[in-house]
Structures are given as structure tokens and as C-alpha cells.
Amino acid sequence: MLLCCRRFRNALVRANYRNYARNIEPEFEHLEKFFRNLLLGETNELKNRYLIISAPEEFTPQADPTSTRQVPRKLIPEDTFCQKLISAIGNDPCSVKTMMEQLKLSDRKNFLSNYLNPAIKDGFVRLLYPDSPRHPRQKYLLTVKGLAAFQELQN
């Protein structure tokens, strides 16, 4: 029964779909076949692949004024400090001391202002205990965005 309802819905959508920009007009033949099967007992083949709309051959996507080119997602941050920090953290949570050792830095204030805080602000790094920033066992780890940038930096 569910399959029958889905086929009816798809045929109904195809019978009402119109796109002037691509010169696509509604087609009622699928809806007609559905009703012929239902009311007259015919056995017309009803498959979703027959409902796929193909643009006319003279249509080219470059000529379509409604389409826009997508901007590629930028995974790697432009800031080299942030890149170094992402590489230092990697897949394991790290404390501030551990990150500073891996980056061979000694000034904590400089590390926080140039490396860690911008990376947190840009969404690449997060706190393990976000509700208590001064937690005694506080560590920092990469967000999903940070992990994606880490993978890009590895390649």
C-alpha cells in the first residue's frame, strides 16, 4: 500500500512540475497510467526512474541564469599559527603545557594570544570542559572543523 501511495505522489508531482527557465513542462502520462492501473485493471509499468526529468538537449547549465557556482569550502585556516596548533594537537586532547612543548614555545601569554584563543574563536579548537575553563585537568581538542583541517594538513 505504501508503494502505491508513493507512486501516486510521484506521478502527481511530475504532472504539476513546471520550470520555465529549463523549458520543462508538466507530463500527465504517468498519472494517467497510475489511474488506468487502478480503475481499469491495466498493468502499465510504473517505476520512479521513468519520472526523472531530463533537461532539453539545447539546455546547458552555463546558460541558466539561476545557477551559481559554488565556492569551495575552506578547511585549512590561513593563519600559520593556527595551522601549527592544529598539527600539534592532532587527534589527542592536549594541555596548554603539552602544546607549548610541541611548538617549542616558552611564553604562555604569547601562546594564548597568538595561537590558542584565535583557534578557539575560529572554531578549530574546543575545551574539554567548556563549563569550567580553569578546570585542573583542562585539555583542548580539535572540533569537527579542526579535524577536517588536520586531515587536509596531513595530505
Among 6-15, 62-71, 145-154, the range scoring the smallest mean pLDDT is 62-71
| Statement to judge: residues 89 and 117 lie in one domain | yes
pLDDT for the residue 120: 93
Residue 55 has pLDDT above 60, yes or no: no
Q: Which domain holds residue 89?
A: 80-154
CA angle (78 as vertex; 74, 79 as ends), nearest 5: 140
Q: Could you give the CA distance from residue 40 to residue 67 in angstroms, rounded to a whole number?
A: 43
Whether residues 150 and 84 fall in one domain? yes
Q: Which of 15-24, 53-62, 135-144 has the lowest mean pLDDT?
A: 53-62
Q: Both 58 and 94 in a single domain?
A: no
Q: Quick one: 58 and 101 in the same domain?
A: no
3-state class (DSSP) for residue 130:
coil
Q: Does any domain span residue 27?
A: yes
> What is the predicted pLDDT for the residue at 141?
94
Quick check: pTM over 0.75?
Answer: no
Instruction: Name which residue leads in pLDDT, 90 or 18.
Output: 90
Give the integer Cα–Cα distance in Å for 98 and 140: 10
pLDDT class of 86 with cuts at 50, 70, 90: very high
Torsion angles phi and psi, residue 40, rounded to 5: -105, -5
For residue 132, being part of any structural domain is answered with yes
* Per-residue pLDDT tens over the stretch 106-141: 999 999 999 999 999 989 999 999 999 899 999 999
Q: Residue 62: pLDDT above 60? A: no
